[in-house]
């Protein structure tokens, strides 16, 4: 039991020693058009928020389709060798006063042989509702379902691949019962599938 308990600590130490210090992190990798949604603009985070999250690089972007439906995409990249890290929406949404439901796991097909495992969370606050789709993107592979993913992250660290990206897509929901949740989930899924390869390359590719 002690060996298993110490594995994450040992893996963290090994990854620090083996990871490349020349990696260049660039979160602003997404194209201007994703699944029929065009980039409207980029919004910087407040300085204290950036200091708290401490990403190597981040990007917060708004995309809008022809019907005016917007999607916010937040990408943060981390070296994985420090003590700071991304905040899971199940923690940060309630901390900001949102009532968040338990997240549901989804598998999105990237290709006939590959799938991206994500989580879907619904949150409400003062009459507002949001649907949030998010995942933690490892280097050189797609994230797996929760049970094996924990062990795979330890393997990644031993292999000198501790870096990862945190990706969050969010959109507002319409009236309850009008089918907007299913439509919103489908929109977020399409955008995630198009955005995922760009983000994986940003996490995996070494710098110059």
Domain count, the chain: 1
Alpha-carbon gap, residue 75 to 29, rounded angstroms: 9
pLDDT in tens, 119-162: 999 999 998 999 999 999 999 999 999 889 989 999 998 999 99
pLDDT in tens, 65-120: 999 999 999 999 999 887 667 788 999 999 999 999 999 999 999 999 999 999 99
Residue 29 is given by DSSP the state -
Read off the pTM. 0.86
Full domain range(s) for residue 73: 2-204
Q: Quickly list DSSP for 137-205.
A: EESSSPPPPHHHHHHHHHHHHHTT---EEEEEEEEE--STTSSHHHHHHHHHHHHHHHHHHHHHHHHHS
Alpha-carbon gap, residue 142 to 99, rounded angstroms: 29
């Amino acid at each position: 039991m002690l060996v298993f308990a110490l594995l994450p600590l040992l893996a963290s130490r090994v990854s620090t020693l083996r990871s490349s210090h020349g990696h260049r992190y660039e979160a602003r990798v997404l194209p201007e058009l994703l699944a029929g949604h065009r980039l409207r603009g980029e919004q910087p985070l407040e300085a204290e928020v950036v200091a708290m999250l401490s990403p190597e690089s981040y990007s917060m972007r708004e995309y809008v389709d022809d019907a005016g439906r917007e999607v916010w995409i937040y990408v943060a990249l981390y070296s994985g060798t420090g003590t700071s890290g991304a905040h899971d929406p199940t923690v940060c949404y309630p901390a900001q006063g949102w009532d968040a439901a338990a997240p549901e796991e989804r598998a999105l097909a990237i290709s006939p042989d590959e799938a991206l495992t994500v989580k879907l969370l619904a949150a409400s606050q003062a009459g507002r509702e949001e649907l949030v789709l998010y995942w933690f993107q490892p280097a050189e592979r797609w994230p797996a379902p929760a049970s094996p993913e924990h062990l795979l992250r330890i393997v990644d660290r031993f292999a000198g691949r501790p870096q990862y990206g945190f990706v969050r897509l969010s959109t507002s929901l319409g009236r309850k019962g009008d089918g907007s949740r299913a439509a919103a989930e489908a929109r977020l899924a399409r955008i995630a599938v198009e955005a995922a390869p760009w983000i994986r390359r940003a996490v995996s590719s070494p710098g110059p």
